[in-house]
Every structure is written in structure tokens, then in C-alpha cells.
Amino acid sequence: MNLSEKLPWLTWKNVHLVAVACIAVGFIILAVGMAIIGSIVAGLENPSWQAVVDLLSFPGIPSDACGIPHVFADERLSSAEAKRSLREKGLSERAMRGKVDMIAASLFLQSWLDERARAEGRR
């Protein structure tokens, strides 16, 4: 399986929609989680270096289209942390549905913002 078969949503139309949405919402940066990229690459049969390069360059396409810079960030622990937080609040697995991804995204973004603040403080 090649990259285009694994990522049927990776079309110019979708790139354009992402770019338009970013502009409309007023994004100043696109933070891209590295875990999803690793998962996609791991799912490819015999991934080539070119497939990895293509996948890593994908965030640059909507970024370039709308003039908003992008960064990669580590998101691996955000889903586990979101589930742990919801369990501590007494939610069942069923009650967690639809909430984990939203909380994980929030944790991912906050983690990236905290790291950025620490890095800027060191300068």
C-alpha cells in the first residue's frame, strides 16, 4: 500500500479546505501531532523514505497555502492523560466517548504552549 492509498483524504481539495478554515478561524500557527504521523507510517506496507518525507511535508501544504507556519509536537501521552483525567472524575468508558479526543487535543495544545513559553523564557 502506498501513501495515497493509505491517506485517501490527502487531496488538494481537502488541503484547500484546511487552509480556508485556518484563515477563517484566525489561526496563527498549525501544531501537528507526531503520533498520528508515526501511526500512518507504521500502517504502510514497506514504507519508503519518500513516503515518510511526503507525510512529514503534508502539514506544509495547508500552511503554505494560507501563510500560517506549522510546527510538529509530541502528542503521544495526551489521550492516555485525557482518559486518566476522566476516570478520576468517575466517568465510565461509555460516558467518555466523544470527550477523550476533545480533552486530548486541549492537553496537546496546552503542552505545546507551555513548552513554547519555556523555550522563549530561556532566550
Q: Which residues pair with 70 in a beta bridge?
A: 30
SS3 44: coil
DSSP state of 11: S
* Among the ranges given (2-11, 22-31, 78-87), the one the predictor scored with the smallest mean pLDDT: 2-11
Cα(50)–Cα(86) distance, integer angstroms: 39
pTM score of the predicted model: 0.57
Cell digits of residue 3: 501513501
Residue 18 pLDDT exceeds 60: yes
φ, ψ dihedrals at 5, nearest 5° = -75, -35
92: region left, alpha or beta (phi > 0 left; psi from -120 to 50 alpha)? beta
